[in-house]
Structure 1
């Protein structure tokens, strides 16, 4: 289940923290279709809805998901604490840092940080 919200005058599709994980292309394309239909510019996915392979960059899952959002010109926000993943992976820390410099994909700790990013 997802809900549309407006944050800092930006239409955002907020995915429910509960539900099936986003494993790959099929689930992501359904989500992108839903977001586009509802007029969202950003989609917020709770970190808990992403499985372990997303956080292991060697699997290619994160790159595949991020690229799908970029292809459809939708922003992707991963919301929540991912420190247990970044603590053990320099590559993931670098990926998160690079993403957070972009206007396409962000990793944010909470809704307050999301509100601040969307306002800036």
Structure 2
């Protein structure tokens, strides 16, 4: 059973569905603390921008997930939209409600989320998560 729920009445093209499914995989990997999957999905130049404005590299982000500084329990993706500036770098925009314990504070937050994707060798990868 997935800890990630999709809340949308939209229908998606095949390519938009691939991107959305990749985001769902990522959210589940956060919850499962699946280091291998996180390393697979995130590009080497990945950057997370927390709602506080704090910026983290891929290595810093994964490290804090694995050491328990960042703990994710549930995710709900609300009304996602995939925006296309060009065919290789789309952006997924959605509200994402995360149940988490972050830096010692447990709660449920709805994040105005923007995720940049990049296609490498026919597969979608995250390059940036801004929330």
Give the TM interval when normalised to the shorter protein. under 0.3
Q: Report the structure number with the largest CA radius of gyration.
A: 2
Name the structure where helix makes up a greater proportion of residues. 1
> TM-score if structure 2 supplies the norm length?
0.24
